[in-house]
Amino acid sequence: MTFRHGTAYATLAALALLLPACSPDEGDGEEGGGTPSASAPSASAPPAPGGEPPPEESASAPVASVAPAEGSAEVVGTVAEDLDAPWGLVALPDGDLLVGSRDGGAVRRIAADGGGVTDAGEIPGVAGGAGEGGLLGLAPAPDFPDSGRLYAYYTADDDNRISMFRYDASAPAGEQLTPDGDLVTGIPRGDRIHHGGALAFGPDGMLWAATGDTDNSGRLSQDERSLAGKILRIDPATGGAPPDNPDPDSLVYSLGHRNVQGLAWDSEGALWATELGDDTWDELNLIEPGGNYGWPEQEGRGGAAEGFVDPVEQWPPAEASPSGMAFQGGSLWLAGLRGERLWRVPLDGSEPVAEPGAFLEGAYGRLRTVLPVGDDELLLVTNETDGRGSPEDGDDRVLRVRVS
């Protein structure tokens, strides 16, 4: 196990018992477009001066959080290591895991007993040299234990797309994935940055996907006809729009997004999304049907007067660059890439009840994906081998984290 920046944890003695249990030139992508100054405001501060109202004057701003964050996040084991640019993570019914490799499209199986890693198969058609693109989100169908149906969001040569596969654990290693057709094609892709990639089934049984604006200009994010810079709600049987979408003829559920990589639903079934900002604010957004989240006209709070939905929480990119997200134990947990930390946002229903709290700062490098397991644990995927990190022996890893 690797600990960065001299961090030490009291759990080291327990780890052996629990084991079974983008490139630098993409500066305006997952890392934000610049480095905030040392005087950058704190996570819950109002925007920098410039005419925008402070959060309490914004019609869509949340009730101010005043309590300090409590809770804990303790790494209690390493599930697997030596993974190559991991991104999507799926828990199988027998306790094993599937993990996708962004570069090349390989899917590997991690054994629950011992953490051994074997090849499950490969997603055909994943484009090489796609910068932040490649094999991104993986989502098992709600009936996965019976159907074996798995959905993948990935970058192809000409577009981003969502395709279906069948997973058969009894097939030989490397042959366990069988293509089952494309569900959605024609999602715009950029040359290198902002492909989005979050993919998840909601409590409504629909498939949700988050897309990027493709080039940091935001020109497609505000174009209601484009699938770029959006959150999509998709009928998983047909690939079409569910009739109760904001526009029954469109997959678009919300717009004005820069680059969303994390989706999660709280205890009341409300949808939340992480948003990678440019050089001022990263965002945590509560998603409204038909809501416009402002990019590129607005970054962070202060856009309500213009009809945009303000973020519930915001951070300077150096402290976050949030990717994956999960709801566990009454809180949202956000994995930070550039911020190299795990953020906790405690909720009462869909209302934050305390300031965000940061855990594991700098201990494991860049953090990519979060998956809830059991009642009080997360699986946390590190991301040091994606071309932007500083990989050490054993990177990348899947960690088991106990949270409260």
First CA to last CA across the chain, in angstroms? 23
In a domain, 140, yes or no: yes
Determine, yes or no, domain membership for 37.
no
**pLDDT of the residue at 7:** 40
**Contact status, residue 156 vs residue 163, Cβ threshold 8 Å:** no
> What was the pLDDT predicted at 68?
60
Q: Which residue has the tokens 């993990």?
A: 99
Please report whether residue 220 resides in a domain: yes
- CB burial string 380-396: b at 16+ within 10 A, e below: bbbbbbbbbbebeeebb
The closest alpha carbon to 277, from 297, 262, 295, belongs to: 295
pLDDT at 129: 83
Q: What pLDDT score was predicted for residue 285?
A: 98
Q: What is the pTM of this model?
A: 0.87
Mean pLDDT by 10 residues, the chain (404 residues): 41 34 43 41 36 33 50 97 98 98 97 96 93 97 98 98 98 98 97 97 98 98 98 98 98 98 98 98 98 98 98 98 98 98 98 97 98 97 96 98 98
Q: Is residue 35 part of a domain?
A: no
pLDDT at 33 (0 to 100): 52
Query: Burial, 230: exposed, middle or buried (Cβ in 10 Å; 0-12, 13-18, 19+)?
Result: buried
Alpha-carbon distances of 50 from 46, 125, 267, 298, rounded to whole Å: 11, 46, 37, 12
Q: From the centroid of its chain, how far is CA 96?
A: 21
pLDDT of residue 70: 83
What is the pLDDT, as a whole number, of residue 196?
98
Question: What's residue 206's pLDDT?
Answer: 98
What total number of domains does the chain contain? 1
Task: Establish if 7 belongs to a structural domain.
Answer: no
Query: Residue 141 falls within a domain, yes or no?
Result: yes
pLDDT of residue 69: 65
Residue 132 lies in a domain: yes
**Enclosing domain of residue 378:** 12-23+58-403
Phi, psi at 69, each rounded to 5°:
-70, 140
Determine the pLDDT at residue 130. 85
Residue 292: give its domain's CATH number. Answer: 2.120.10.30
Sequence-ordered list of residues with C-beta below 8 angstroms from that of 338, at least 6 positions apart, any chain: 30, 31, 32, 317, 318, 320, 321, 366
Asked if the structure places residue 1 within a domain, the reply is: no
Backbone φ/ψ region at 151: left (φ over 0), alpha (ψ -120 to 50), beta: beta
